[in-house]
Structure 1
């Protein structure tokens, strides 16, 4: 009897873990961080912590729904790539039907909670982000690098959603923080695509620009978009959204980030691309946290 109960407990724990993995928690927590950043930056008075908490939970659920749909659509491609073959669907820990129902439940719950905790504008933007990521960006990954442009939109929407949730408006300040995260997506995406190129080719994913090769042309594209981050990082200071300190920090971080792209242009290796990938992960949170501190 005890052995039977133990077996059921193990199966339940395995299933719960698989559902949690479907949410891609690391990615979804990054979405939550960015949306929380936008919310705090836009807030002009004391934060209602209860609303803020439920807003973050709503964002996590909507993000989880969109990445679950992504995994349903790409399950046969995930099965042939080394980095994704152990995901819940290709490893058969979750069935396609279970994943579809899970995406519906998390999506509806997230959007409903967003409407209650925030407002209609934030909810509409969240729905737009889900649709663009799951149903436009995902199939475009096998078409060409246009997928990166489309994917950069939902990727940059979280701070805009946060701003809308706190203020109910979309102002030029909101578009500035959207623009920074939008442009950041390009070196970030392309560095990942460079490092994972062999795996991506197995699935027919075409994310690198130009001819899709790991060459000087792609390295120049990465450099150009990283270069745009320098003036963009100064705009919050210029328009009085934050102080001088954040402008200095954004410039220093942007310059260090840019230096890595010049290294890639000299040596078009996976090692240099991996440094840009990790550099992109460091750049965005440091700059966003500095903006928040500087506002205070």
Structure 2
């Protein structure tokens, strides 16, 4: 083997390991979660501190990535049964569970230390609670009951409260308003994903749709209901004085858009319509949070 071949194999091995760790933390999902936490942090601040936003983003990615790593360790056997997850590093055998645990413990520890050191103990404590609920309560409950989605929405929304705690050093009304938006947003978002991947999830024994019958009118109605709930909740940032009139109207329009997509799902009852709900929800979150941040600016 030539020296050049050795270098190429080494480079390929390093690149593959990096890709595996990116998959282990579910980078795209983690980024979206931490994005909402960072925006919440910036909204909570009285004056801008962009270096703090970078530090908070890194700490958030470490804690969130750790939770996602534990999720994959716990679900390694069921992940191996599903087409969409079988190629993840642990179920595919490219990474051992022990390596995953070591990574999860180290990233969690560093992330919590950063939050406690650069920000406050409160934000680190809420982050630890969120990590525990997601990793050890929501994850195993997915095989037991569809109530897992309700429980999972708590750690899914707590990043907003973590961001608020880091910026304001309290768990004030503003943080709870942001928590409420993200909490209720998750239901149409996650049910759309569960609708699209119902066959895969059923194979693994996951119970994630609100109806035992799977994709159907009841699940679509629930998506409409929770989208409608977002409309009055969207007024709260204005009432709590964490944003102004401009973002109020943008949030209202975004909420109507979500309701309409959920209604289309009820009318069409197809995976294509569920996919529209899913992608609409991906767009919804950055539009709403950036609107509130722009209003504060």
Q: TM-score, normalised by structure 2?
A: 0.96
| Secondary structure at the counterpart of residue 122 of structure 1 | helix
Q: CA deviation at 1:224?
A: 0.3
Correspondence for 1:19: 21
> Is the aligned partner of 1:207 residue 2:171?
no
What is the CA RMSD across the aligned residues, in angstroms?
A: 1.2
Residue matched to 1:53: 54
**Structure 2 match to 1:195:** 196
**Following superposition of structure 1 onto structure 2, how do residues 1-296 of structure 1 map, counting pairs within 5 Å?**
1-2=2-3, 3-47=5-49, 49-296=50-297
For residues 225-276 of structure 1, the C-alpha deviation after alignment (integer angstroms, 9 at most, x for no partner) is 0000011111111232211111111111111110111111112111111110
The more displaced of 224-233 and 264-273 is: 264-273
Name the CA distance, whole Å, in 2 between partners of 1:198 and 1:259. 26
> Structure 1 pair 245/5, CA: closer, same or farther in 2 (3 Å)?
closer
Q: 1:98, 1:283 → 2: CA distance?
A: 36
What TM-score do the two structures reach when normalised by structure 1? 0.97
Kindly report structure 1 stretches of 4+ aligned residues shifted beyond 6 Å.
Answer: none
User: How many residues were matched structurally?
Assistant: 295
Kindly indicate whether the alpha-carbon contact (under 8 Å) linking 1:212 and 1:218 is maintained by their aligned counterparts in 2: no
1: CA distance between counterparts of 2:128 and 2:83? Answer: 31
- Unpaired runs of 5+ in structure 1? none
Q: Given the superposition, is the C-alpha separation of residues 46 and 263 from structure 1 closer, same or farther in structure 2, using an over 3 Å criterion?
A: closer
Query: In 2, Cα distance between the equivalents of 1:104 and 1:118?
Result: 21
State the alpha-carbon separation in 1 of the partners of residues 52 and 6 from structure 2.
43
Q: Quick check: 1:180–1:233 contact (8 Å CA) kept in 2?
A: yes
CA contact (8 A) 2:58 2:111 kept: yes
Residue 6 of structure 1: how far off its partner (Å): 3.4
Within 2, Cα distance between the matches of 1:46 and 1:266? 46
Residue 9 (structure 1) shift: 3.3
SS at match of 2:110: helix
8 Å CA contact 2:142–2:206 kept in 1: the answer is yes
Q: What's the CA shift string for 1:210-235, capped at 9, x where partnerless?
A: 32421111111110000000111111
CA distance in 2, matches of 1:5, 1:256: 52
What's the CA shift string for 1:66-97, capped at 9, x where partnerless? 00000000011111111111111122111111
SS at match of 2:234: helix
- Which one is further off, 159-168 or 6-15? 6-15
Following the alignment from structure 1 to structure 2, what is the Cα–Cα distance between the partners of residues 100 and 239? Answer: 41
| Kept after mapping to 1: 8 A contact 2:173/2:240 | no
Query: Structure 2 stretches of 5 or more lacking a match?
Result: none
